[in-house]
Amino acid sequence: MMLLRTLDWLVDKSGTLSAICALMMAGLGTLDVLAMSLFNAPITGTIEFSSMLLVSCLFLAMPMAAKDDDNISVDLLINAVPVTFRRLLSAFNNICTIGFFAILTFLSWKLAMKGLEKGDVMTGAINFELWPFKLLAAVGATLALMALSARLIRELSPKSRKQYTPSAES
């Protein structure tokens, strides 16, 4: 139980960091437009930095979507089958998603470690190191994998079988 509470806390903090990245992108974009409009002097490196913030924002938001099952789904056929079959389909879907995220997590960490080792730098209007953003992506993928695994365990637990209703999945 303590492990699941810790995971939930980490997932929530990841979502908070994602929101901060989104706010930073919005703020930087706004300041860039204002600087260009008022002073004819755009902020150097806005595009490069915003693109890395976008990647961080997306990867850090994935754990919350995984935990809360907020991914896009089509319920048309799922709602037409019996609850028992729906549980099996949901478990199969979760297992396939966990497999995908396991690969994504492995490759994200590999890319982050390689970037740290090589000292990856984005060249553009300004140069800055990429490893922090790659590391955030790897952490986000890892937390999403852990949240998906925890959700599958919760779903398959005997306690959840009693509580499972057709509307619980939507």
The Cα–Cα gap between 128 and 125 comes to 10
The Cα–Cα gap between 16 and 23 comes to 11
CA nearest neighbour of 131 among 56, 39, 21: 56
Q: How many CB atoms lie within 10 A of CB 167?
A: 6
Instruction: Specify the pLDDT at position 170.
Output: 42
C-alpha distances (whole Å) from 153 to each of 16, 85, 91, 158 are 25, 17, 9, 10
| Helix intervals (H) in the chain | 2-39, 46-68, 83-118, 131-156, 158-163
Find how far residue 136's CA is from the centre of its chain: 10
Place of tokens 């852990």: 146
String of b and e for 5-24 (b: at least 16 CB within 10 Å)?
eebeebbeebbebbeebbee
Instruction: Specify the pLDDT at position 64.
Output: 95
Most distant CA atoms of the chain, gap in Å: 64
The Cα–Cα gap between 168 and 162 comes to 12
Instruction: Specify the pLDDT at position 37.
Output: 96
Answer yes or no: are the C-beta atoms of 11 and 67 closer than 8 Å. Answer: yes
Q: Spell out, as residue ranges, where the chain has pLDDT lower than 70.
A: 74, 160-170
Instruction: Please give the residue range of the domain that contains residue 33.
Output: 2-168
pLDDT tens digit sequence for 95-119:
999 999 999 999 999 999 999 999 8
Counting the structural domains of the chain, the total is 1
Structure tokens, 139: 């952490």
Tell me if residue 129 falls in helix, strand or coil: strand
Find how far residue 55's CA is from the centre of its chain: 9
The structure's pTM equals 0.86
